[in-house]
Amino acid sequence: MSQIFDPIRKKYVERTPEEEVRQAVISNLMGVMEVPVTHIAVEQGFKFNGLQYRADIIVYGRDLAPAMLVECKAPSVKLTDSVIDQVVRYNMVLGVGYIMITNGKRTCIAKMDPASGSFEFIGSIPKYNEISAA
């Protein structure tokens, strides 16, 4: 079994196609977006309608409130409406300002309106100071 190091969980984890995408996103979050490593959580559990779920990645703002939810899929998984619906449902609990969905080939980023539950796709990945202020 091949492994890959996760700098957030500080351990080696099984190298799966989804995990490779997750680690690429983590690298991008810390590098391009300038997210402090202390403000990233991986496989964070939460409850929704009495059931336990797990968010792939949650980025916390400076106030330590969830600011961005990231859902990672294997490259073979298409980003369909059902994948988007999954993340929007998760956001009913988390109330983040931004969601990101990626399979490593395609990435969709949306700015959320927590009051109405609606969202608008945006064209580029925001910097940490933008999502942290949302």
H or E segment to which residue 112 belongs: strand 107-113
Both tokens of 131, joined, read 């999502």
Regarding the domain delimited by 3-132, which CATH topology (the fold level of the hierarchy) does it fall under? Answer: tt1808, chain A (3.90.1570)
pTM above 0.85, yes or no: yes
Q: What value does the mean pLDDT take over residues 15-43?
A: 95
Domain map of the chain by residue range? 3-132
Mean pLDDT of the chain: 91
- pLDDT value for 133: 67
Whole-angstrom distance, CA of residue 52 vs CA of residue 43 = 12
More confident position, 48 or 33: 33
